[in-house]
Amino acid sequence: MGANSNILAIGSNFAMIIASTKKTKWGGHAMFKLKQTLFAAACAFTVSSGSVAWSAPVTDADIVNDGKTTEDVVSNGIGTQGQHYSPLDKINAGNVAKLVPTWAFSLGSEKMRGQETQPLVRDGVIYFTGSYSRVFAIDARTGSKKWEYDARLPDDILPCCDVISRGAALYDNLVIYGTLDAKLIALDRDTGKVVWKKDLEDYTAGYTYSAAPMIVKGKVITGIAGGEFGGIGRVEARDAKTGELIWTRPTVEGHMGTLNGKDNGITGVTNATWPGDLWKTGGAATWNIGTYDPETNLIFFGTGNPAPWNSHMRPGDNLYSSSTVAIDPDTGKIVWHYQTTPHDGWDYDGVNELISFDLNKDGKVIKAGAKADRNGFFFVLDRTNGKFISATPFVSKITWASGFDATGRPKYNPESRPGAPSATGEKGPTVTVAPSFLGGKNWMPMAYSPETKLFYVPSNEWSMDIWNEPVTFKRGAAYLGAGFTIKPLYDDYIGALRAIDPTNGKIVWEYKNSAPLWGGVLATKNLVFTGTPEGYLKAFNAKTGAELWKFNTGSGIVGVPITWEMDGEQYIAIVSGWGGAVPLWGGEVAKKIKDISQGAMLWVFKLPKS
């Protein structure tokens, strides 16, 4: 029987059941429950690839509870708080050594650079993005492709850090993602057809979009990239079903926010922390994904470096660059902020995720948030108000500051700030500073385990020579005012996966890796998974750091692993494919990793059946 016949048959059955209810004396509650059941079944009915399929719409409740449910992964971070944690333990420390691939899917074509994505899973289908703004829907049981969508990118896009895409969002029956030419697109989950498409910004001015969108209370929340071109960062909320703009909040002082098409107050106070007109090209790009805490009803978004890099041109703190801002999702207003690197002169973007967790300290439970920053410090804040709790190093060498005072301000080392260019236009004095601008931790998400109460941070040990240069803003041109060379600190390793106790900032265990770590982390009840540029997906004991299993995927891993349960079995998935910022910006580090093979594969693993 064809798909249309099935539709008619099921529709006829629905009609017969509804008709029969008219001849039956039902109690009010029973009638309501029957109608509710029929309505839910009707809403879930779809047609895909010529056959009948049942796909339940993804709801706000599904997304908020993603970390507690195990049969799917419907959000980046496995829950809005971004903990990247699953309570699953069918794959555990006692049997993970038996883990084997069940199938692998090639992304195909020549577009194999930088697969920095986290897959999503719903109703037996895996959804994920690939380089060059592609989206795939794959049957989770067989590895066969259901559909693929390729954005038609213009030739003159200006992505800063490779042609990557960090993931999509699921809502209702939509797959929503952004493109390198700064568009936001919603696709039908079953067919891959475009439902709506919106422009986020003008890509010819240097704007782009590569982060995964997030869903909060029926709104799709996005940032924007382009700080290296003098673009202005902002956070926006749109109706997830229609793409219509609800509010926008710029992240540089002096710019006006909007709500429902009307002015909604400027961000900060014009010229309070920016001199002259530099706030008009101030950067602070929101190029990574944020997190959302339902308990406080706050969105936490990180902001990038101020523009230009040359800090001598812009005295002041340069709010709200290199910060975390807490935004009310209903109004788009900034509720609080914390600036991790005031007056940033080293490109220490503050875009890294703030993960919500409960901190047990001095006999009290604090609603806290933790962030491993580019500047090398691990921060713990009170997430209800942004109050500073602690900042401790999570890398071995930090030279730009000696620490933070009790108010949460850095104690700068003035000799580590690159000098100003001369009056005649020569570059300023070079300084060597650690960490490098690629950061103690970059975009790759860390994980938090409520089981061990530890954070698992993918970090890197490197320094940089950096100097300032004269620069003038020109639309669509790089707006740095600095030069640099990145160097590894040690001969035997660059990357280090570190387990950190947030109560004291101490490193409980670490795994050292020869090449930089550039992929995300997954924590389960007693395991931690992450990938390496050498191509290995690895599993560690969450309490001790002992390496328990590894599998070589054939290309460097810079993606984010996930886990879910299907047909009574636990699965692990990772997208493998080397690329990202390191081989493009890595200086002497890039030479060390020049022979790593590119590739583009989705790998899925499970335990063999006994």
Environment class of 25 (CB within 10 Å of its CB; exposed 0-12, middle 13-18, buried 19+): exposed
Do 306 and 314 form a contact (C-beta atoms < 8 A)? yes
Reading the block at residue 163, the tokens are 């042609």
Say what angle helices 3-21 and 28-44 make with each other, to 10 degrees. 170
First to last CA, the chain: 37
Greatest Cα-to-Cα distance within the chain, rounded to the nearest angstrom: 93
Respond yes or no on whether the N-terminal peptide bond of residue 418 is cis (omega within 30° of 0): no
Q: How many residues does the chain have?
A: 610
**3-state DSSP assignment of residue 558:** coil
In terms of Cα–Cα distance, which of 469, 499, 479, 273 is closest to 378? Answer: 499
Environment class of 562 (CB within 10 Å of its CB; exposed 0-12, middle 13-18, buried 19+): buried
Helix or strand run (H / E) with residue 37? helix 28-44
Query: How many C-beta atoms surround the C-beta of residue 550 within 10 A?
Result: 16
Q: How far apart are CA 26 and CA 20, in angstroms?
A: 11
Torsion of CA 274, 280, 283, 289, to 10 degrees: 110
Q: How far apart are CA 199 and CA 179, in angstroms?
A: 10
* Residues sharing a CB contact under 8 Å with residue 341, sequence separation 6 or more, in sequence order: 322, 348, 350, 373, 374, 375, 410
In terms of Cα–Cα distance, which of 355, 352, 266, 371 is closest to 304? Answer: 352
E strands along 240-348, which residues? 245-250, 256-259, 262-266, 291-293, 298-302, 323-327, 334-339
Query: How many C-beta atoms surround the C-beta of residue 175 within 10 A?
Result: 28
Reading the block at residue 387, the tokens are 């109050």
Environment class of 269 (CB within 10 Å of its CB; exposed 0-12, middle 13-18, buried 19+): exposed
Reading the block at residue 215, the tokens are 């869903």
Residue 347 appears among annotated catalytic residues: yes
Q: How far apart are CA 438 and CA 441, in angstroms?
A: 7
Set 66, 72, 190, 347: catalytic member: 347
Query: How many C-beta atoms surround the C-beta of residue 127 within 10 A?
Result: 27
**3-state DSSP assignment of residue 14:** helix
Do 351 and 227 form a contact (C-beta atoms < 8 A)? no
Respond yes or no on whether the N-terminal peptide bond of residue 435 is cis (omega within 30° of 0): yes
Respond yes or no on whether the N-terminal peptide bond of residue 320 is cis (omega within 30° of 0): yes
Residues with a known catalytic role: 347
